[in-house]
Amino acid sequence: MKGNITRTFLGALALVTTVGCGAGTPEEEQQQTAVEQGLSSLPDFIVATVQGPASVQSGQSLTTTVKVCNYGSVAASTTVAVYLSQDTVITPYMGGPFPPVDQPAGNAPVTNLGPSQCVDVQVTGTAYPPPPRTPGNYYLGAVVDAGNYVPEVSETNNTRVGSVIAISL
Ligand SMILES: [Ca+2]
């Protein structure tokens, strides 16, 4: 008699548990689990800082220091590109109408970065004011994995605006 009561109680618990977890079909739950596991085993590059000289002459070499970090759980390598921009929106140039919105100022490889690792990348290019090429103050910005070649946890945190640089003729 006592055993019967225990089994009935456990059966009720099992029923409640099944109902509580039954928001989706088993297939949907398996897919959701796969997505979560996939996201947790990807790299996630971010640009932490973008630092360049205070001034440069148009047409001269410009070296920008970009700190790239990997916030993901898997090591990966990539590239980083630097741009000169009139505003704080950095638009990578991936081909298309010319001239680009923002002026490319070099790109460089990013060595294999493990989880939670950061690296200072020296990016060297040539400094020109963005179109229409008016001398003045511009923002330095950097984009990591601009072509989205590396699957990441987040693709929306790959851009950073950095220091302002005066470009003279
Ligand atoms: Ca990212």
Strands 55-57 and 159-168, bridge-based pairing: parallel
Residues 91 and 16 in one domain: no
Q: How far is the CA of 52 from the centre of ligand 1 (A)?
A: 22
Assess whether 30 and 73 both reside in one domain. no
Alpha carbon of 70 to ligand 1 centroid (Å): 8
Those residues of the chain that have pLDDT short of 70 are 1-39
Residues 36 and 51 in one domain: no
Question: In the prediction, which pLDDT does 33 show?
Answer: 46
Residues 56 and 111 in one domain: yes
| CATH number, position 161 | 2.60.40.10
- Shared domain for 79 and 49, answered yes or no, is yes
CA of 92 to the centre of ligand 1 (A): 15
Q: Are residues 80 and 21 part of one domain?
A: no
Express each pLDDT in 89-131 by its tens digit: 999 998 888 899 999 999 999 999 999 999 999 999 999 999 8
Instruction: Report the C-alpha gap between 125 and 73 in whole angstroms.
Output: 31
As for how many domains the chain has, the answer is 2
Which pLDDT score is estimated for 16?
40
The Å distance, Cα 128 to ligand 1 centre, comes to 28
Q: What's the 105 CA to ligand 1 centre distance in angstroms? A: 21
In whole angstroms, what separates CA 41 from the centre of its chain?
15
CA 72 / ligand 1 centre spacing (Å): 8
The range of the structural domain enclosing residue 36 comes to 2-40
> Do 29 and 61 belong together in one domain?
no
> What's the 31 CA to ligand 1 centre distance in angstroms?
23
Contacts for 125 with CB less than 8 Å, ≥ 6 apart: 61, 62, 64, 82, 104, 105, 106, 107
Whether the model clears a pTM of 0.85, i.e. scores above it, the answer is no
Q: Are residues 33 and 88 in the same domain?
A: no
Residue the block writes with tokens 């179109």:
131
CA 148 to ligand 1 center in whole angstroms: 9
Same-domain pairing of 34 and 73 = no
64 and 123 together in one domain: yes
